[in-house]
Amino acid sequence: MPTSPLQHRVRIGVFDSGLGGLSVLRAIHELLPSATLMYVADSGHAPYGERSVAYVEERSLRIAAFLRDQGAQVLVVACNTATAAAVQALRMHHRDWAIVGVEPGIKPAAAMTRNGRIGVLATEGTLRSDRFKLLAQAHAAHVELFLQACPGLAAAIESGALTSPAVTERVQTCCAPLREHQVDTVVLGCTHYPFVANQIAAALGPDVVLIDTADAVARRTLALSLAQAAPDDDLNQDDRPVTRMWTTGDRLLLANVAERWLTFPCTVDTLP
């Protein structure tokens, strides 16, 4: 009898510039609760969106090497900026490793829009990248794209206080131009932004649809994971592993945020 994905053991490494990748980690855990998940928040070097391509690439390669040393069979780059800047280099350095990147959901947004006007909320690093430009050319030739950089928003979310005045002010500032352009679909182009999706939706109005790619990334991770690990017919609820986390920033902040934002147990350590 075939086993379900819930019965497969696999070690998955996930990283982001900070806390935003927890939205992707959460989606992966929903599909693969039996996986050993390992997460690195590079908060001590955030935000990536305001760093150079070379800097983000160097950090990504270093963290990927750490996660591979921990036994990760699949790597998920749970950061739009790191994907744009470094996923090609990661795949060149680790040709035998299954690597999943995160990209803004331009394609589903183009298929869903009713009036042909799509907004993209993202970091400056993502929007200026060649990878993003190619993505837009491939999937948005027949629609209007309104690109809105959100300087400081990821950093404000990184504090963990999602309803703080700083977060609310930046959400309103970033959404106002898109509301004026009368977009009907908005792409959340940073993995931090789903954690304030309710505020973004309120700022844009009830007729605007938000596109988040966390579930699509989780499905791709699932497909690659099933190819990496054999099923375990004896796996039960008690066997499911605790997620391991590391941060280059404030360990207590990551621990507190994980406790509030996630529904599964985690350990948190500091990564120099």
The one-letter amino acid code at 172 reads Q
- Whether 187 and 234 map to the same domain: the answer is no
Question: Are residues 95 and 124 both part of a single domain?
Answer: no
Q: What is the pLDDT of residue 3?
A: 45
- Active-site residue, selected from the candidate residues 79, 150, 174, 175: 79
Q: Could you list the residues known to form a binding site for substrate, using ranges.
A: 16-17, 48-49, 80-81, 191-192
Q: Catalytic residue at 79?
A: yes
Is the confidence at residue 235, as pLDDT, over 70?
no
Predicted local confidence at residue 230, as pLDDT: 58
Single out the residue in 170, 186, 211 at which a domain terminates: 211
- 172-220: pLDDT as tens digits: 999 999 999 999 999 999 999 999 999 999 999 999 999 999 999 999 9
CA-derived radius of gyration, the chain: 18
Q: pLDDT digit string (tens) for 76-129?
A: 999 999 999 999 999 999 999 999 999 999 999 999 999 999 999 999 989 999
What pLDDT does 160 receive? 79
Question: 211, 228, 247 — which closes off a domain?
Answer: 211
Same domain, 22 and 85: yes
Query: Does 77 share its domain with 199?
Result: no
The single residue of 150, 174, 175, 190 carrying the catalytic annotation is 190
- Are 207 and 251 members of one domain? no
| Span 153-163, pLDDT tens digits | 998 998 878 88
- Rounded to an integer, what distance in angstroms lies between the CA atom of residue 255 and that of residue 245? 9
**pLDDT reading at 13 higher than 60:** yes
The arithmetic mean of pLDDT across residues 209-236, rounded, is 82
CATH number of the domain enclosing 198: 3.40.50.1860
pLDDT at 9: 79
Asked if 120 and 162 sit in the same domain, the reply is yes
pLDDT the model gives residue 1: 34
Let me know whether 140 and 13 are in one domain: no
Buried b (16+ CB within 10 A) or exposed e, 23-50: bbbbbbbebbbbbbbbbbbbbebbbbbb
User: Does 190 qualify as catalytic in the annotation?
Assistant: yes
pLDDT at 48 over 70: yes
Return the structure tokens found at 169. 């002010």
pTM of the model: 0.88
Give me the domain span that covers residue 226: 5-102+214-270
Same domain, 84 and 145: no
The residue from 164, 188, 211 where one domain ends is: 211
- Tell me the pLDDT band of 2, cut-offs 50, 70 and 90: very low
How many structural domains comprise the chain?
Answer: 2
* Interatomic CA distance for residues 174 and 137, integer angstroms: 23
Considering the domain architecture, whether residues 241 and 161 belong to the same structural domain is answered as: no
Q: Are residues 202 and 224 in the same domain?
A: no
Is-contact 34 240, C-beta < 8 A? yes
The two tokens of residue 21 are 């990748």
Reply yes or no on whether the pLDDT at 228 is more than 80.
Answer: no
Q: Does 114 share its domain with 180?
A: yes
Domain identity same for 112 and 246: no
